[in-house]
Amino acid sequence: MDYGGAIGLGLLAGILARVLMLRSDYRQYPTYPHGYSTHLFMGIFASLAGAVTVPALLEGEWTAVTFFLLVAEQFRSIRGMERDSLKALEDSELVPRGTEYIENIARVFETRYYIVIVVAAATALGAIKQSPLMGLVFGAVVFMWGAILTRVETIGETVEVEAAPVIVRGSDVLVGDIFIFSVGLKESQEFIKERALGAILTPKNDEGRDTLASQGQRQAMLHDAASILGVRRDADNPEFAPQAKRDIKTGRVAVYVVPMDKDQGLLLEMLRRAPVLESARGRARFVRLGYVGKRHLHAGRNRIGGNHPEGGLGGRHR
């Protein structure tokens, strides 16, 4: 296939990949239509960069490498653009996303453009070296590989989410057996008894426990739940604000929400579907790998004669 056709095919494949990755869900970002328009146009530029680079390199135009690196550097600004846009909305949110959630969203958008560039380049390369059909196959394989690498875990995979009663005991508000806060107004106490929903999140394993330990992760869950259920509060009603409190003895987390729509099942589903933030997931896996590393280190020391500073079999110099 000639270079012009390969570039066109790579461009179309890259645009298609961006469209498939551009979806709006209950988190409402990107919004329609301006968010879609911005990311579609940026997807076209990313696709063109990837598709054009391959023929240039095949012709020995090594300056294309510099061009490609400059383009990739420009797409790093996507992350900053998303971060700034979401941070600008934080002050007006009744339930903020939190800085960790914002950074996670921004990182995802940046990564998607790199996938688009590689899909376009792989499609163009396959079309030139083999055939248009093989080019599309190459592009599809790269796209699926990228989708697997960027798959987002959900809270429900490592945490058991169960309904729990909201109990008002005197001035104390509890979800199950976990204390949330104290409220003195009788009117607020009665309203909480009538309208509040609760859930208990129990980690299934060490990774789930460390994920729930992240304050940013808990704030992200509250934002997602509030975005679909709504909240019965204004800026001057802190007792109606969603909260997530952790039991430090067991690692369980109690979620307290006073929603506009009192739907217990929907609350549980939103909590299960909340994404695990990379910062929380990375911390959990680091802890797990660190523990395994220490265990192997101690085992190795025991095999060679204990913790003698000189090493050696039996602790003797050799």
Ordered DSSP codes for 150-200: TPPPBHHHHEEEEEE-EEEETTEEEETTEEEEE---HHHHHHHHHH-EEEE
d(CA 311, CA 83): 51
307 lies in some domain? no
Percentage of the chain surpassing pLDDT 90? 35
Q: Are residues 143 and 191 in the same domain?
A: no
- Could you tell me if 56 and 126 lie in one domain? yes
pLDDT of 25 > 60? The answer is: no
49 part of a folded domain: yes
Residues 8 and 147 placed together within one structural domain of the fold: yes
Contact 257, 196 (CB under 8 A): yes
Instruction: Say if 79 falls within a structural domain.
Output: yes
Q: Are residues 207 and 256 in the same domain?
A: yes
User: Which of 151, 184, 215 is a domain's end point?
Assistant: 151
Give how far Cα 265 sits from Cα of 34, 78, 197, 252, Å: 33, 36, 10, 19
Q: Report which listed range, 108-112, 163-167, 314-318, is most confident.
A: 163-167
Residues 128 and 179 in one domain: no
Cβ atoms within 10 A of the Cβ of 134, count? 16
Same domain, 25 and 139: yes
Scan for tokens 């265990």, then name that residue. Answer: 295
Same domain flag for 176 and 65: no
**Which strands form 159-164's sheet, in the order they lie side by side?**
159-164, 197-203, 253-257, 243-246
In a domain, 308, yes or no: no
Of 151, 168, 200, which one is at a domain's C-terminal end?
151
| SS3 assignment, position 235 | coil
Is pLDDT larger for residue 137 or for residue 66?
137
Q: Helix count (H) and strand count (E) of the chain?
A: 11, 7
State the pLDDT at residue 105.
86
Domain end residue (candidates: 99, 117, 151)? 151
176 and 81 assigned to the same domain: no
237 and 99 in one domain? Answer: no
- Condensed to tens digits (0 to 9), the pLDDT of residues 253-264 reads 999 999 988 899
| 216 is a domain residue | yes
Q: Are residues 48 and 106 located together in one domain of the fold?
A: yes
Question: Is the per-residue pLDDT at 189 higher than 80?
Answer: yes
Number of domains forming the structure of the chain: 2
Query: 250 with 234: CB under 8 angstroms?
Result: no
Asked if 291 contacts 111 with a C-beta cutoff of 8 angstroms, the reply is: no
Name the residue with tokens 């093989």.
Answer: 134
For residue 213, the enclosing domain spans 156-280
The reported pTM is 0.76
Cα–Cα distances (Å) from 193 to 160, 174, 178, 208, 255, in that order, read: 25, 11, 16, 30, 15
Please check whether residues 120 and 196 belong to one and the same domain: no
